[in-house]
Amino acid sequence: MNKVGFFRSIQLKFTIIFILLLLLAMQVIGSFFTESLENNLRDNFFETIEQNVELLSYNLEQAFNKEREEDGQGPSLQQEVQEILVDIRANNITNIQVVDSQRRVLAASDSMQGNIGKKTSLDLVQQAILFDMSQERTRRDPETNNQMFVKAEPVFDNEDLVAGVIYLEASLEGVNDQLQEINNIFLQGSILAIAISAFIGILVARSITRPIMEMRRQAQTMAKGDFTQKVNVYGKDEISQLAETFNDLNSRLKHSYATIEEERWKLSSVLSNMSDGVIATDNDGLVTLMNEAAGRLIGQNPDDIIGEFLLDVLQLEEKSVDIADLQENGTMIIDFSDEEQDFLIRANFSTILDDEDEVTGFITVISDVTEQERVEQERRDFVSNVSHELRTPLTTMKSYIEALTDGAWQDKEIAPKFLGVAQNETERMIRMVNDLLQLSKMDANEYPLQRERVEFVGYFHQVIDRFEMNLPEHIKLLRDMPKGQYEVWMDKDKMTQVLDNIISNAIKYSPEGGEIRLKVENRRHHLQVSIQDQGMGIAYDKLEKVFERFYRADKARTRKLGGTGLGLAISKELVEAHHGQIWAKSKEGKGTTVFFTLPLMNQKRRGR
């Protein structure tokens, strides 16, 4: 695990957060303080201006309303007004003018002495005379760019008429300079506070992150499988409680790890000493685990098989088996025989599912069943050679021959019937022996399939057409075929035998006026063929036995119709030889339906 640098550490983040919070607090406090101070200074400034204006207005009203001597003795109005202005002392006021009601300047401050006696054109003065009320505004001095407060205050005579106007200009730069100086002081204090807070923040962050860093180092140590170390606990706060919990987690993980290791060694010992082979794969079918027993059965080193495809390992690729079909197959017998000896392996497939029922892998258990299959083969040979089914026709023939020997041959009516029965029974035994020989060859793998690519729907139509040519009048064949072409890799002769057996049985057991439905369905990876009749049906408990050799649902009727009891058994062997399945469904009195499947040719097969 890479070491975390200082600029990416939580310690720096704590420090930055601490400083940001302090800056935010100082910004809020500074904004409130500056705004309050600015309002206070401006209020004092305007209060001072207002006091000077009130004093000046009072004195000027006295001067405007004063009666003067006609002989010109005493000071004139202009002189008296000028003297009043001289007494005004205000640092902020830069310009004062007193204008009469005719807009003529009566007196002015030192900087505006040249305007005395002239009419002014100031709009504030004109508005104050016109509207009889005070006018004020704030503007920028175009020469100095200073912020100026300008006010025009009317002066009234005894009749409440405007006798004159006081026009003054006061600079706000003094207030602004004070605010700027205070802001500079506040900024310097903020910088000093940030420096101190950064130092304190580093100390605080280090005290917080120190146990976290220790837990991080301990986690790295635990990831390597070392659970012996503990994290130091420095107090009783939340981080200390986290450290205690971390130490408890360390102890629990140590115990769990030891338990898992013990179980792993047990499992490894079990797998190593099993007589059956175990192969584990991922969901793609690639081998992830194989024990020694599986390696011995397959004849390969388990370490060399890791990562190989399961179908290649079990030599199933050439049998048109997909990895997705393993769960459906369940159990499969795989032939590893060679020219020197037979070797058969039974493979049991099961899937591994996660919590969402998604397939995450496969488990295959393989075992040597060569001897079991040999015993089964011997049992089948015995059944094929010594069948009690031969006893019935032989007994019948013996009885009729004895009757003929005793003199029945001289009876022209009875003798032909007896000879006909003997002939029929002989032919039935010949068919039975032929069927037994065929089964025997199939069991011995001496009945090879001559496979070819066949478009199944068209082929099935041809088989049905052949039956319709010799179909009894009381039977109807109904076809239900899908559109399109579906190619199957099969032996046409063997599949014709399967269809002949099933369709012939349906015709034999169909009542007068009955219908036989022949249907083909596309089931994605395979075709499903069904032949449904309206015969007497088969009991549910006997349904699974119809594919056993010599089993008859209705023995009396089967013998009467000439059946051997081997047709469906042969059909089952042939369908399974084509990697298909065959089964039946039936209800007594409502007929029987025989189903079988054939794998469709995949893209890889079609490209050959």
Residue 554 pLDDT exceeds 60: no
Residue 543 pLDDT exceeds 70: yes
pLDDT digits (tens, 9 = 90+) for 96-131: 888 888 888 888 877 777 778 888 888 888 888 888
Lowest mean pLDDT among 232-236, 440-444, 537-541: 440-444
1-25 mean pLDDT? 68
Residue 251 pLDDT exceeds 70: yes
Q: Residue 18 — pLDDT band, cuts 50, 70, 90?
A: confident
pLDDT score for 551? 65
pLDDT digits (tens, 9 = 90+) for 576-589: 989 999 999 998 88
State which H helix or E strand residue 438 sits in: helix 414-443
CB count within 10 Å of CB 14 equals 18
Residue 71 pLDDT exceeds 60: no
362-377 mean pLDDT? 79
Residue 485 or residue 355, greater confidence: 485
Measure the CA–CA gap between 222 and 107, rounded to whole angstroms.
95
Q: Which of 436, 439, 571 is nearest to 502 (CA)?
A: 571
Q: Where are the domains of the chain?
A: 12-177, 274-368, 449-606
pLDDT digits (tens, 9 = 90+) for 261-293: 888 888 777 777 777 888 888 888 888 888 888
**At residue 229, what is the residue type?**
Q
Tell me yes or no: is domain 449-606 CATH 3.40.50.300.
Answer: no
pLDDT score for 517? 93
Q: Give the strand pairing for 526-532 and 452-455.
A: unpaired
* Contact in structure between 185 and 174 (CB atoms under 8 Å): no
Residue 498 or residue 379, greater confidence: 498
Residue 565 pLDDT exceeds 70: no
Lowest mean pLDDT among 362-366, 404-408, 480-484, 548-552: 548-552
Distances (CA, A) of 11 to 198, 209, 213, 525: 12, 6, 10, 62
81-99 mean pLDDT? 76
pLDDT score for 443? 66
Pull the structure tokens for residue 114.
């040249």
Residue 595 pLDDT exceeds 90: yes
Distance of CA 178 to the CA centre of its chain: 65
Measure the CA–CA gap between 550 and 561, rounded to whole angstroms.
15
Lowest mean pLDDT among 386-400, 473-487, 549-563: 549-563
The model's pTM = 0.36
555-574 mean pLDDT? 66
Domains 12-177 and 274-368 fall in the same CATH topology: yes
pLDDT score for 487? 92
Average pLDDT, the chain: 79
pLDDT digits (tens, 9 = 90+) for 406-420: 777 777 777 787 777
Residue 464 pLDDT exceeds 50: yes
25-53 mean pLDDT? 83
Q: Residue 337 — pLDDT band, cuts 50, 70, 90?
A: confident
Measure the CA–CA gap between 285 and 322, rounded to whole angstroms.
10
Residue 608 pLDDT exceeds 50: no
511-519 mean pLDDT? 88
CATH of domain 274-368: 3.30.450.20
State percent of the chain over pLDDT 70. Answer: 84
12-177 fold: Beta-Lactamase (3.30.450)
pLDDT digits (tens, 9 = 90+) for 45-68: 888 888 888 888 888 888 777 776
Distances (CA, A) of 252 to 34, 57, 256, 406, 582: 59, 92, 6, 98, 56
* Contact in structure between 490 and 555 (CB atoms under 8 Å): no
pLDDT digits (tens, 9 = 90+) for 371-392: 777 777 756 655 554 555 566 6
487-500 mean pLDDT? 90
CB count within 10 Å of CB 272 equals 10
pLDDT score for 599? 93
pLDDT score for 564? 59
Measure the CA–CA gap between 454 and 318, rounded to whole angstroms.
19
Pull the structure tokens for residue 14.
């704590």
Q: Residue 520 — pLDDT band, cuts 50, 70, 90?
A: very high
pLDDT score for 381? 57
Q: Residue 7 — pLDDT band, cuts 50, 70, 90?
A: low
**At residue 519, what is the residue type?**
K
The string of DSSP letters for 367-419 reads EE-HHHHHHHHHHHHHHHHS-GGGHHHHHHHHHHHHHHHTTGGG-TTHHHHHH
pLDDT digits (tens, 9 = 90+) for 173-195: 888 888 888 888 888 887 887 78
SS3 205: helix
Measure the CA–CA gap between 208 and 191, rounded to whole angstroms.
25
Measure the CA–CA gap between 476 and 503, rounded to whole angstroms.
12
SS3 90: coil
pLDDT digits (tens, 9 = 90+) for 307-332: 888 878 877 766 666 666 666 667 87
* 179 φ/ψ angles, rounded to the nearest 5 degrees: -65, -40
Q: Which of 291, 210, 218, 306 is nearest to 254 (CA)?
A: 218
Measure the CA–CA gap between 291 and 272, rounded to whole angstroms.
6
**Tokens 């506040």 label which residue?**
186
Residue 461 pLDDT exceeds 90: yes
Q: Residue 606 — pLDDT band, cuts 50, 70, 90?
A: very low
Q: Give the strand pairing for 105-108 and 452-455.
A: unpaired
Residue 491 pLDDT exceeds 70: yes
* Contact in structure between 288 and 306 (CB atoms under 8 Å): yes
Residue 144 or residue 538, greater confidence: 538
Q: Which of 152, 97, 102, 94 is nearest to 123 (CA)?
A: 152
Helices marked H in 160-283 — which ranges? 173-223, 238-273
